[in-house]
Amino acid sequence: MKEMIIDSGGTSSEWILINRSSPPHSFVSAGMNPVRADLDQVISDAKLSQYEPISKIYFYGAGCTTDTLCDIVRSAFKRELPNTSIEVTTDLLAACRSSCQNQGGIVSIIGTGSNTCRYDGQRISDSISSGGYLIGDEGSGFTIGQAIIRALIRDRLSPQELALVTNNLTKQDLLNRIYQSSEPNTLIASFAACARYFSSDKRSEILLPIFTEFIQQRILPLDPKSDDPLFFIGSIAFHYQKELREALNLFNLHSNHMEKSPMPGLIDYHIRQNHNKAK
pLDDT at site 206? 95
Is the pLDDT at 51 greater than 80? The verdict is no
In this chain, the answer to whether the domains covering 2-98+262-278 and 103-259 adopt an identical fold is yes
**What residues contact 83, with CB distance under 8 A and at least 6 apart?**
53
**Range 20-49 average pLDDT:** 80
What's the rounded Cα separation, in Å, for the pair 239 and 196? Answer: 8
At 72, give phi and psi (nearest 5°): -60, -45
- pLDDT category at 278 given cuts 50, 70, 90 is low
Specify whether the CB–CB gap between 29 and 278 falls below 8 A: no
What's the rounded Cα separation, in Å, for the pair 17 and 263? Answer: 11
Superfamily of 2-98+262-278 according to CATH? ATPase, nucleotide binding domain (3.30.420.40)
Specify whether the CB–CB gap between 188 and 145 falls below 8 A: yes
- pLDDT category at 226 given cuts 50, 70, 90 is confident
What's the rounded Cα separation, in Å, for the pair 118 and 29? Answer: 29
What's the rounded Cα separation, in Å, for the pair 23 and 109? Answer: 28
Q: Which CATH architecture has domain 103-259?
A: 2-Layer Sandwich (3.30)
Residue 186: enclosing H or E segment and its boundaries? Answer: helix 184-190
Where are the chain's structural domains?
A: 2-98+262-278, 103-259
Sheet containing 105-110: which strands, arranged edge to edge?
124-128, 114-119, 105-110, 230-233, 257-259
pTM of the entire structure?
Answer: 0.84
